[in-house]
Each structure stands twice: as structure tokens, then as C-alpha cells.
């Protein structure tokens, strides 16, 4: 199996029930792990060029159900990147001040400047996911917010040279249960335990419906990442980032003119 065939391909419209959460069959996991390490080092080099050139910014969006591995992905994928050039923001319940503004107000402030990589752990899509699942907003507002999100991302892309990568971390219902149970018994994971995660799990089918809507109605496409095997999650994210960043022609600027 060639390296390019390690990646799943998905048709449109996307139905998550048809999208596997495991790697392709017959995959050589040892080879993929070696490739992943090489890709992580290459991303580190590309990050240095990005930082020096200051012509592009990079926004990485990580969305997924609880225990889909968002924090682990950040740790492994960006392992060789310069820490000072990474801006990571985790979206939680809005503060009182944030609630007093439009839903994108708090998001725009966290977007990366040219030369930076910004990583959103959850993102502006929470406002058309959890709020929709629980009926806190009506369908008219959902449509308006999706239109606003598409316009916002296009603004970042075309006005600030932002390269936007959106990853949906696709975990199976069964694997999520295993991960949540581990948080109850494994000491190094207990700090992540939140009883409300089990409550949200009861809304699984509603979340899948809302996620499908987001995936099928976004102007900038998503990468669906099978995450039941964490090593494959890291590979897919890294391969996507490195392939794109290698193709935009970034260069070190050299010495300033006149020196």
C-alpha cells in the first residue's frame, strides 16, 4: 500500500455513519508511525519558515466529541514546533462579557497573526453544535450563524492570508465509552473527568446530525480524521498540514535590503 492510500477518501454529502473511525484495512502501523515522526519534524521546519517569512498565518481547528483526542493531537502533532510561535486556545462556556457580544467576537481576538500558528481546541462551531443540540438557538439562527462562520473564515483566508485547516476527530460511540471510563480509573487521566460528558453522550445521535450539517455546509472543507487509533489520528493531521504548507512556496526572507 502506497503512502497516499493511507488516507481515507470521503464522498459528499457526508454521512458520518459511513465514515470509518479506524485506519484503512491492511495498513502497516509501524510504517505509519515512522512516517508520522518524519512528518512532525518536517512540520517543525515549515513552522520556522512560516515564522520567519510572516506572509501567512495558520489556523488549525480541532472539533470532536468528548474524549476524541484533541489535546493529545496538539501535543503530538506540534511536538517539534517552536512553542513561542504556537497560540493555543480552548473554547469553553462564554464569559458574561463574551455573551454580551456577537458569538464571533471572542473568536476573532484569538486568530493568529501572520507568521503564527493558531490552534483552536473546539471553536466557533460550538455555537452551531452544542447550542443547537440543546435547543438554545432556533434553526433560523443556526442558518444565520453558519453563513456568518463561512463569511468569517473567508475573511481570514483572503484578507489575512490565513491557511485554515479544520479537522473533525471522528471517534466511535464504543471507543468514546472506553476513553471516558479510563478517565474514571486512571490517575493521569482523572483530571479530565467530567460527569457532564456522560450526559452529553446521551445526545450522540443529535450531535452526529448537527456535525453532518456543519461538514456539508462549510465553505472551507473539513478533514475527517479517524481517531479510534491515536497514532493514525496524528498521521492524518500531520500529512494534511505538511502537504499543504509545503505547497504554498514559503521561503526564508534572507537579510534585509541594504545590509
The domain containing residue 80 runs over which residues?
A: 3-246
* Side-chain half-sphere CA neighbours of 170 within 13 A: 26
Residue 251 CA to residue 52 CA, distance in Å, equals 8
**pLDDT for residue 1:** 38
| CA distances to 46, 193, 248 from 217, in Å | 30, 32, 26
CATH of the domain at 38: 3.40.50.300
Per-residue pLDDT tens listing for the chain (259 residues): 345 445 665 667 899 999 999 999 999 999 999 999 999 999 999 999 999 999 999 999 999 999 999 999 999 999 999 999 999 999 999 999 999 999 999 999 999 999 999 999 999 999 999 999 999 999 999 999 999 999 999 999 999 999 999 999 999 999 999 999 999 999 999 999 999 999 999 999 999 999 999 999 999 999 999 999 999 999 999 999 999 999 999 999 987 776 6
Determine the Cα–Cα distance for residues 109 and 24; give it in Å rounded to an integer. Answer: 39
| Residue 19 forms part of a structural domain | yes
Q: What is the model's pLDDT at position 117?
A: 98
- pTM, rounded to two decimals: 0.94
**Spatial contact of 229 and 217, defined as CB atoms under 8 Å apart:** no
210: in domain: yes
Backbone angles phi, psi at 199, to 5 degrees: -65, -45
Residue 256 counted as domain residue = no
Distance (Å) of CA 71 to CA 11, 173, 249, 255: 28, 19, 30, 37
Q: Is the residue at 121 inside a domain?
A: yes
Distance of alpha carbon 203 from its chain centroid, rounded?
21
Q: Specify if 254 maps to a domain.
A: no
Whole-number pLDDT of residue 13: 87
Domain count, the chain: 1
Could you give the 3-state DSSP secondary structure of residue 12? coil
207: in domain: yes
Residue 253 lies in a domain: no
**What pLDDT score was predicted for residue 11?**
65
Considering the domain boundaries, does residue 257 fall inside one? no
Amino acid at each position: 500500500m502506497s503512502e497516499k492510500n493511507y488516507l481515507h477518501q470521503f464522498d459528499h454529502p457526508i454521512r458520518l455513519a459511513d465514515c470509518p473511525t479506524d485506519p484503512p484495512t491492511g495498513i502497516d502501523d509501524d510504517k505509519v508511525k515512522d512516517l508520522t515522526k518524519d512528518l512532525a519534524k518536517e512540520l517543525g521546519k515549515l513552522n520556522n519558515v512560516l515564522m520567519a517569512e510572516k506572509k501567512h498565518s495558520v489556523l488549525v481547528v480541532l472539533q470532536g466529541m468528548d474524549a476524541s483526542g484533541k489535546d493529545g493531537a496538539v501535543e503530538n502533532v506540534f511536538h517539534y514546533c517552536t512553542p513561542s510561535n504556537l497560540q493555543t486556545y480552548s473554547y469553553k462556556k462564554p464569559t458574561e462579557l463574551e455573551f454580551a457580544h456577537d458569538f464571533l467576537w471572542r473568536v476573532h481576538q484569538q486568530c493568529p497573526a501572520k507568521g503564527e500558528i493558531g490552534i483552536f481546541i473546539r471553536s466557533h462551531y460550538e455555537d452551531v453544535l452544542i447550542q443547537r443540540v440543546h435547543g438554545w438557538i432556533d434553526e433560523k439562527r443556526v442558518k444565520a450563524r453558519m453563513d456568518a462562520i463561512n463569511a468569517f473564515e473567508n475573511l481570514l483566508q483572503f484578507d489575512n492570508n490565513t491557511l485554515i485547516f479544520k479537522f473533525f476527530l471522528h471517534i466511535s460511540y464504543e471507543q468514546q465509552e472506553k476513553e471516558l471510563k479510563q478517565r474514571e480509573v486512571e490517575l493521569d487521566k482523572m483530571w479530565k473527568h467530567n460527569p457532564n460528558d456522560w450526559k452529553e453522550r446521551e445526545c450522540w445521535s443529535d450531535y452526529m446530525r448537527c456535525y453532518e450539517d456543519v461538514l456539508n455546509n462549510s465553505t472551507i472543507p473539513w478533514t475527517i480524521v479517524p481517531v479510534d487509533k491515536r497514532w493514525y489520528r496524528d498521521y492524518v493531521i500531520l500529512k494534511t498540514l505538511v502537504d499543504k504548507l509545503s505547497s504554498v512556496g514559503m521561503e526564508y526572507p534572507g537579510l534585509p535590503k541594504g545590509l
